[in-house]
Chain A
């Protein structure tokens, strides 16, 4: 560590001290750092072992983990607001569905095309939208999500409206179709691992520190030469591409897509996951997605109560535990304070 104040130099290691990455203090012992991953591994491991229905539930959770990780980049790391990420999941999902069923594309080019389309849409939408702040930004993004849903319903010649598109082929690798529960689960776990790796790299990179900078104070960030508008847009684009990726995965795993998949329910559900796991942390979205998906499934008799439970849980979390499970893990971390002086860096 240098002591010179070269805050915006090319290498810029000092930015980390100026803008400590929020909401995730450096873990002081290994167990606490590993705890969320152990929990996640246990849930996925159980599903792999059990197969069948638990595997399906955990599979959905993993798809959501990718979506929520993207949301977390925009909201947790950059402290912006978007209620409309479902729109980009819809772009990816419908691109994959339409290109593979009607134009006989392979799943990979279709998925890439979906991400490209989502990026283009996010660029066109983000450019005017991200100038807005506060409730204006909230409402504009909510409107974008709802417009996407309406378009999916109304543009029947392409999306088949409420009927939806069925018969979407599963993902195949080298001629081997990933159709079994366990094969899909392994594939999704790898996707989540890649996502987590990407997010943690982004978080500790120069880009991530710029995000943290404008999360802390836009004015201060601007004063330090961070191009606020550009980084906001980059954060939005990243979130949109993860959303599109998860949308594509969803349609291939389920084999069917309809507008209902990308409704307001998805928005509320993904926010619940984000807050349960802990907003602004790398592990939070994964843990949140797994826990939130697993809990209602253990009480399957109460299917009608699902949205009620999500909504209530979200309100209670926002009031009483705004840091979610990450706060719990952090508390676990605080107790054994023997090696406090070491001060490791965030993973």
Chain B
């Protein structure tokens, strides 16, 4: 096995790892705001790519506008999930497991609605910039991978800024530390939950849109991506957004290595085994638990 091949899969692993990381951050944002693990996270990834495709091909909108609109629509759908599924259960003090089951059911419902509204054919999007791949010591890095890495890093930086400097970001962090104390300080905890869903749905959509040109999207890709994102969040220590991003990168690279070593069929099994390994041996992740 030569070095370029290893380098090549390292690059593709980092690209997909960024996507897992963004999805993982989505998990953490909702978890921090509410203590809920939203298993419908994958639906937002799928919707990002699908809605952009529809706007681009059927709506004939310019690419940039289509992407922007798609992210906004998915963020709104995130709020809709919060309002229709999570909020009623939350108000009834449903046990955590019921909440998980409900979001998993929401995932299936969204999947099916997409299937009925669009179709079951795989869709793809054009690459963002149609340029030849950059050569780095014999390793071809395609432009879309660069977009994914650069875009993800920019988003992570923007999120860090948002949580550190803005009033809303600080309020969300306060909710993560202690919801009751935050409520006593006058922070509207309920709107923070809605905002968290909007934010993490938007993150999922962006991840889905950036990824689609390199692979494809279809109504049923959500669950595997949700699981990869969850694994990323676990590796990083659940509830730590930046740990999740790091976890995503590690997962992406490990998976790429596994594909190289055992073939593409083993990709999911390796990822799930990593999850189990972490859950059994170090459930608090590489950075330790949040709080």
Contact = CB atoms under 8 A, between A and B. Distances in A.
A271 B101 contact: yes
B280 A128 contact: yes
Interface string A127-171: 011001011101110111011001101100000000000000000
A20 B238 CA distance: 36
B223 to A, nearest CB: 6
A139 B230 contact: yes
B155 interface: no
Interface stretch (A26-34, A62-70, A92-100, A304-312): A304-312
B3 to A, nearest CB: 29
| Best-buried of B88, B96, B109 by chain A (most CB within 10 Å) | B109
A264 interface: yes
Contacts of A139: 37, 227, 230, 234, 275, 279
Contacts of A140: 275-276, 279
Contact of B92 (A143, A153, A264, A319): A319
| Best-buried of A271, A310, A315 by chain B (most CB within 10 Å) | A315
Contacts of A214: none
Contacts of B143: none
Contacts of A308: 108-109, 112-113, 116
Interface in B255-291: 265-266, 268-269, 272-273, 275-276, 279-280, 283
Given A154-B265, A308-B116, A318-B101, A143 B227 contact: yes
Contacts of A310: 105, 108
A280 to B, nearest CB: 13
Given A136-B283, A319-B88, A150 B272 contact: yes
B105 A268 contact: yes
B122 to A, nearest CB: 17
A135 B272 CA distance: 15
A314 interface: yes
Contacts of B100: 81, 135, 138
B187 interface: no
Contacts of A144: 276
Interface string A101-141: 00000000000000000000000000011001011101110
Interface in B65-123: 84-85, 88-89, 92, 94, 96-98, 100-102, 104-106, 108-109, 111-113, 115-116
Nearest to A153: B265
A335 B227 CA distance: 47
Contact of B105 (A305, A314, A322): A314
Interface residues of B, number: 39
Contacts of A153: 265
A304 B84 CA distance: 23
B106 A311 contact: yes
A129 B272 CA distance: 14
Contacts of B272: 143, 146-147, 150
A138 B283 contact: no
A140 B234 CA distance: 11
Interface string A291-329: 000000000000011011011101100110010000000
A268 B103 CA distance: 11
B108 A304 contact: no
Interface in A233-271: 264, 268, 271
A311 B279 contact: no
B205 to A, nearest CB: 21
A140 B230 CA distance: 11
A144 B112 CA distance: 24
B275 A315 contact: no
A81 B268 CA distance: 23
A151 B85 CA distance: 33
Given A150-B268, A154-B265, A268 B104 contact: yes
A138 B104 CA distance: 11
A273 B273 CA distance: 30
Nearest to A161: B265
A147 B269 contact: yes
Given A81-B97, A128-B280, A143-B276, A315 B102 contact: yes
B46 to A, nearest CB: 14
8 contacts: A139-B230, A150-B269, A304-B115, A307-B111, A308-B109, A310-B108, A311-B105, A319-B88
Given A81-B97, A264-B108, 4 more contacts: A139-B230, A147-B273, A304-B112, A319-B89
Of all A-B residue pairs in the complex, the 3 with the closest CB atoms, nearest first, are: A311-B109, A308-B112, A311-B108
